[in-house]
Structure 1
Amino acid sequence: MKYNKIASALAVILAGKFAYAADQTIVVTGNVLGDSRAEEVKTWAGSRTVISNDQLQKGANRTLDDALQRVPGVKIQDETGTGVLPQIAVRGLYDSRSGRAQILEDGIPLALAPYGQEGMSLFPVTFSTIDRIDVVRGGAAVQYGPNNVGGVINLISKPIPVKWENEIGERATFYGKGRNLWDTYLRTGGMLNDDFGLQVEANQVKGSSFREHSDSKVQNFRVRTLWNINEDTTLNLSYQYYDAHADLAGALSTADYLSDRHQSTRPYDDYDGHTKRYSAVYNQQLGSLGFIDSAEFNWMFFGHDSDRDFHVGMSKTSGQNFNPALPADIVQNSPRNFKVWGTEPRISLDVDGDKVNQRWIIGGRFVSEKVDYQVRQQTLATGVTTVTRDWSFDDKAWAGYISNAVKLFDDTLTITPGMRYENVSEKYVDKTSGQRTSSPDTQWLPGLTVGYQLAPAWFLYADMQKSLRPAQVTQIVKGGDVSSELAWNYETGVRYTPMDNLSLHAGLYRIDYKDQISYDSTSDSYLNIGRTRHQGVELEGFWSPAAVDGLKLHAGYAYLQAEQRNGVNRGKDVPYASRTQLTLDGSYEWRGTTLSLASYYFSKSFADAANSVSENSTGSVGEMPSYWVWNTQVSRDLYKSGSTVMNGYIGVNNLFNRDYWFRGVDTSPWGRQPAPGRSVTAGVSVKF
């Protein structure tokens, strides 16, 4: 096999993407997201944004959190400034540790437990290892589930190159007062011969963030291989070891925030996480089979052995809650261990007719989750530790899905009906009392997408889908009226691409949620706030003016009305949802130097279902401020010789040092959680 065929096979990386044969014809694959490139967005029947590698590297991004802020409909509560524990919400769908965002890496679920623990309280990804990000807000629910109400965020790893390549990178973020964060990245990989490729990555993030008690250390190691078994068959293998420790500065009382937002009054709060992750993806091109013109079989296997633990100082005075205004009497920790594996076979078939072309995708998935969950409390005065909760979860989930993309009128109109079936069994036992509980759930989840190429420059789309989010481990443990959440999603929109340098998108959406669960910081429990409706408009545009060579502009706008639809708070906003979001960014390249300027604005939001405006004495409720943050970066290739390239950059985040805060962030549900202030990031990387 020659190198052009090797390059074709490399496109079929872990998610199972489009592969291009030597004659540049497309070989059918079963992954509806394709290669997650910006070009594929133009004909996607739903809202979708791809953050390219160029935008990641030159867009003044300290972490993946910064990069995701540019996407209309995505909101981040940056708790740490290090990217260790992201808080991602899509279209006002907020839950602790990004619990309502379906996050994948190379098409494989990243959640600790894809059904029972969808929150990312362990986020085994570092910024330096990611090539690009695909944010799909609609149209992917049939194949990617559960927990897809807000869509899918697919993080794409750096691919194995055809020719052997080495990379060394060092970046540092300076927050002032001696608080610095260092990021060291090493990569080596490529094709060893015509049939076998290997890539090894090592990434360490170490130092402190912008506040006291914020020391962090992350180690991320990953090995990936590609085996071209023959011209039609590939096997991808991946193994990752990830280890993280972070001191958590926590929220502050109002008085402490006004006194010094950089301080910490939570000396006992910290976090540890460890995981060993593995995956295998087998891809077989089957060619033509009778009336089937092209077929592909894909089998994905994934699993991990993970544990994570939070230590949190608590006060007896406030009923063993996390009141930042009071000294800690108890340190509570919550160790959890996860043993998860899953398998997903899939077959895709292309049938070309005289007037109608079809693509069938048929697949299934089985996932097994075993979770050990404890809560321990140590009394500081005596040093005595007691186990207050000892739970065990055994979850099993079966899913099957089928879709048929029917193409009409010379492939200008594509109608894709689909159906997903979910069978979830969540069994848990209280090891202390011996109580056993079973929570089975079965759902049929239909979907329909329609895409119409009205003209070369105009693409219209509409989609509808039903989505499921099973009851979560934390919700079950904390009690309250909780059950599986169901939602209907509707979208319609238009893309206008009159030329290669201009792309515009306008979309409308509506999400009708049934039995939405919301965290109540005052009672430290999860409540069923019932029916909610999330609806809004999203606008996005990319423009590279022909008159100004090297200039690239991007703008995004989102208006969101997230409203509670029943109960005493009917008509009030869903907590944590900002009504208005505005994104403005651009870059200008001149004589090898790129200058970028980026900003994002979010309007005010509320911390509770009652939409309390005034902040109470504990800081558990109260309106959260609007904020507009500006970032800038200068990048340049410092040296080039043959295949060796040295790149350097310097950036400033939160350029105007805007003070703002969040509330209700997981282990700090009370008080004000300061957002990162101004910082300077400098870096250099060498590829050879």
Structure 2
Amino acid sequence: MKRTHSLIAASLLLAWAGHAGAADTPAFTLGEISVVAPADDAPLPGASVLDSAAIRAENRETVGAALQMAAGVNLSRVGARNEQMAYVRGFDLRQVPVFVDGIPVYVPYDGYVDLGRFTTFDLARIEVAKGFSSLTYGPNTLGGAINLVSRRPSRAFEGEVGGGIELDKDGARSSYRAYGNVGLLRESWYLQAGAALVDEDGFGLPDSFDPVATENGGRRENSYRRDSKLSFKLGLTPNASDEYVLGYVRQDGKKGNPPYTGSVVSPRYWQWPYWDKTSLFIATHTQFGDHALKVRAYHDTYENSLYAYDDATYTTQNRRSSFRSWYDDYTDGLSVEGDFALATANRLRVAYHYKEDVHREHDAGEPEQTFRDRTQSFAVEDSHAVNARLTLVGGLSYDYREARRAESYDVSTGLVRQPVGDNDAVNAQLGAFYALDSGTLRATVARKSRFATIKDRYSFRLGTALPNPDLKTERATHYELGYSAALAGDWKVDAALFRSNVRDLIQSVRIDASQCSSPPCSQMQNVARARATGLELAVDGRVGALKLDANYLWLYRKNLEDATVRLTDTPRHKFFAAATWTQGAWQLGGSVEAASRRYTSSDGRQQAAGYAVANAHVGYRFAGGALVEAGVHNLFDRLYAYSEGFPEPGRRYYVNFNLPL
């Protein structure tokens, strides 16, 4: 960790040494993936995009918090780990994987990624593709994809430094942050580098929280976290069209897991002494006349440790439920994409993806267990402009997953090889985009799939579950009718009606308790058909000096196999709105986020109540470009939760600064 501190300090000093200039956040175009129009390579409507200006204005320092602002997305905290999760039109992060510059970053074991570990300071924007998403993303995009697009310099020198502190409602410091970004652009090369540190001792609870056995109120028990990040990209640009990039990202973290405060399930006293992730990648773009070849190759490592303790003292580990566990995972991957301009009105893309996931784990005193999956995908996607108004997009892909190794350990049997097998899936989609004088109509249908994760197939879940290596592939068919338009006065609107039909949905099912060492006993099975129906509205624009953004989601999910089994962690209604008023050097703003009640994954029967939370901020930008701002989250100190038994922070104040260079 000392090494990380030194790197952060060096980055900040480098940024301070530069010359003042206007700040902007140009995007790393090699990291973008979208369904495009054939003539100009412009993305076709349907995805939700959050730019860095909107993210910064609302002081959303983690990707999870930022995604709460996006249309069609709701934030949640799922399971005993209580990690930041996002649902896109009802699909979770196993079904809507996370990418960084087009490279998948989800954890090999369970397909999830804790969005609270990913900071936003070095991002240009976040793109959220829904059911109809480009097949060139690769496999497992059952419900869409989330792509975190980083920065790329656009001037000879550009950069920024920033930081701030957060105070609880009593004025005591609860966290601080520091970050720096710097970019160098030359005729034949460029460098983009960034560093960030977020350190939180713990957050305060609202005054209305009633103390319970596991939480006495005040500062939330075991809610500390610390995350640091260092990233750089070195790009070679030998001519106007070609680009060859070497990138590196290092994230170091540690965190505690606040204990459950409800009355349904037993609390867990968990801490992660380290949560570290490293990515090394190469991205290239080579132009051959009107055609192009794009390549991404990457090596991704993920290491963490999880300590489960007996009680809230976090000192002893004597109970059967206590343990020390270590993960040591890595992923090697390659994607190759050919982009062919067959005609002015036709664009063909062909892609191949290869991904080798290795998960290695062991508890204290046990041998290491190894799991290995190999996944490949072949995709074809064609965009054709039938005429000046109508564009058709069609795609077809084939995914193949081979389980190459799986092991389990038990005291009575020792290390045992588990059965392995293969799965495959065919994905297809078709979309029609019709340009009106006032906007664009779209009608799309997409059939997507997701392979069961290593955890889905092989986890004993601390002796309470029976593995199921023969799990089938989840499949979903998405239908959407949408309209998007740029209206007068810089106003934009997007509306969509959608339905998703899911079959072979994987969920936990109770089975004979005698089959597990620690009853009750369950098994992951393909038992359900489900349907999600919804309406999504988004609008943004200006009225004089006032900028407004708002979105609303109505979502109805139903288990068609057994209506008594709830689909959890998604509210029926979700709303977000933000307003910013600029007058000279002053900026005043506020936002509100609201959601109706939801069933949660504490046990699938409990509910988290609906809520509405308001935020406010004020800032002043000096003549040299420096910005100083102050704000408050949860202005009225509301008691609310995304997941039953896990209350969110109460009122928090913050003071930030940002200096463009």
Name the TM-score class by shorter chain.
Answer: 0.7 to 0.9
Aligned equivalents of 1:159, 1:124: Cα separation in 2: 22
Alignment of 1:117-136 (within 5 A): 117-121=110-114, 125-136=118-129
Aligned equivalents of 1:302, 1:586: Cα separation in 2: 40
Q: Is the 8 A contact 1:551 1:589 kept in 2?
A: yes
2:370 maps to which of 358, 380, 392: 392
Aligned equivalents of 1:396, 1:484: Cα separation in 2: 15
Aligned equivalents of 1:50, 1:430: Cα separation in 2: 42
Report deviation, 1:529: 4.2
Q: Is the 8 A contact 1:110 1:123 kept in 2?
A: no
Instruction: Check if 1:221 corresponds to 2:230.
Output: yes
Question: Alpha carbon RMSD of aligned pairs, Å?
Answer: 3.0
Q: Is the 8 A contact 1:359 1:405 kept in 2?
A: yes
Report deviation, 1:64: 2.8
Report deviation, 1:433: 3.8
Letter in 1 for 2:238: I
Q: Is the 8 A contact 2:392 2:430 kept in 1?
A: yes
CA separation of 1:255 and 1:145: change in aligned 2, threshold 3 A: closer
Determine the structure 2 residue equivalent to 1:597.
Answer: 590
Q: Is the 8 A contact 2:30 2:285 kept in 1?
A: no
Report deviation, 1:144: 1.7
Determine the structure 2 residue equivalent to 1:87.
Answer: 85
1:279 maps to which of 240, 257, 281: 281
CA separation of 1:229 and 1:34: change in aligned 2, threshold 3 A: farther
1:334 maps to which of 325, 339, 349: 325
Report deviation, 1:268: 4.7
Alignment of 1:331-370 (within 5 A): 331-352=322-343, 357-370=345-358
Aligned equivalents of 1:255, 1:234: Cα separation in 2: 55
Determine the structure 2 residue equivalent to 1:474.
Answer: 455
Determine the structure 2 residue equivalent to 1:63.
Answer: 62
Percent identity, aligned pairs only, is 18
Instruction: Check if 1:104 corresponds to 2:82.
Output: no
CA separation of 1:250 and 1:525: change in aligned 2, threshold 3 A: farther
CA separation of 1:78 and 1:589: change in aligned 2, threshold 3 A: farther
Determine the structure 1 residue equivalent to 2:260.
Answer: 251
Aligned equivalents of 2:229, 2:582: Cα separation in 1: 33
Q: Is the 8 A contact 2:84 2:115 kept in 1?
A: no
CA separation of 1:256 and 1:340: change in aligned 2, threshold 3 A: closer
SS in 1 for 2:622: strand
Letter in 1 for 2:282: A
Report deviation, 1:313: 3.3
Letter in 1 for 2:651: R
Determine the structure 2 residue equivalent to 1:638.
Answer: 622
Instruction: Check if 1:434 corresponds to 2:432.
Output: no
Report deviation, 1:484: 2.2
Aligned equivalents of 2:118, 2:150: Cα separation in 1: 10
1:488 maps to which of 458, 465, 477: 477
CA separation of 1:345 and 1:619: change in aligned 2, threshold 3 A: closer
Q: Is the 8 A contact 1:60 1:652 kept in 2?
A: no
Aligned equivalents of 1:40, 1:508: Cα separation in 2: 23
Structure 2 gaps, min length 5: 1-24, 204-219, 312-316, 461-465, 511-519
Letter in 1 for 2:294: N
CA separation of 1:327 and 1:171: change in aligned 2, threshold 3 A: farther
Aligned equivalents of 2:111, 2:431: Cα separation in 1: 26
SS in 2 for 1:283: strand
1:75-96: CA deviation from partner (whole Å, max 9, x where unpaired): 112589xx994211111223xx
Instruction: Check if 1:560 corresponds to 2:555.
Output: yes
Report deviation, 1:226: 1.2
Letter in 2 for 1:69: Q
1:363-382: CA deviation from partner (whole Å, max 9, x where unpaired): 101111111123x3xxxxxx
Determine the structure 2 residue equivalent to 1:652.
Answer: 632
Report deviation, 1:227: 0.6
Q: Is the 8 A contact 1:601 1:627 kept in 2?
A: yes
Aligned equivalents of 2:82, 2:286: Cα separation in 1: 37
Aligned equivalents of 1:366, 1:373: Cα separation in 2: 23
Determine the structure 2 residue equivalent to 1:680.
Answer: 653
1:627 maps to which of 611, 617, 620: 611
Q: Is the 8 A contact 2:221 2:259 kept in 1?
A: no
Structure 1 gaps, min length 5: 1-9, 18-30, 258-264, 288-293, 316-325, 377-384, 609-617, 664-670
TM-score (normalizing by structure 2) = 0.82
Aligned equivalents of 1:281, 1:536: Cα separation in 2: 37
Letter in 1 for 2:340: L
SS in 2 for 1:188: strand
Determine the structure 1 residue equivalent to 2:75.
Answer: 76
Determine the structure 1 residue equivalent to 2:303.
Answer: 307
How many residues are treated as equivalent by the alignment? 589
Determine the structure 1 residue equivalent to 2:430.
Answer: 448
Report deviation, 1:267: 5.2
Report deviation, 1:61: 2.7
1:611-657: CA deviation from partner (whole Å, max 9, x where unpaired): xxxxxxx97742221111111111221341xxxx2111112111111
Aligned equivalents of 2:264, 2:475: Cα separation in 1: 41
CA separation of 1:295 and 1:500: change in aligned 2, threshold 3 A: farther
Letter in 1 for 2:51: S
Instruction: Check if 1:420 corresponds to 2:397.
Output: yes
Letter in 2 for 1:363: A
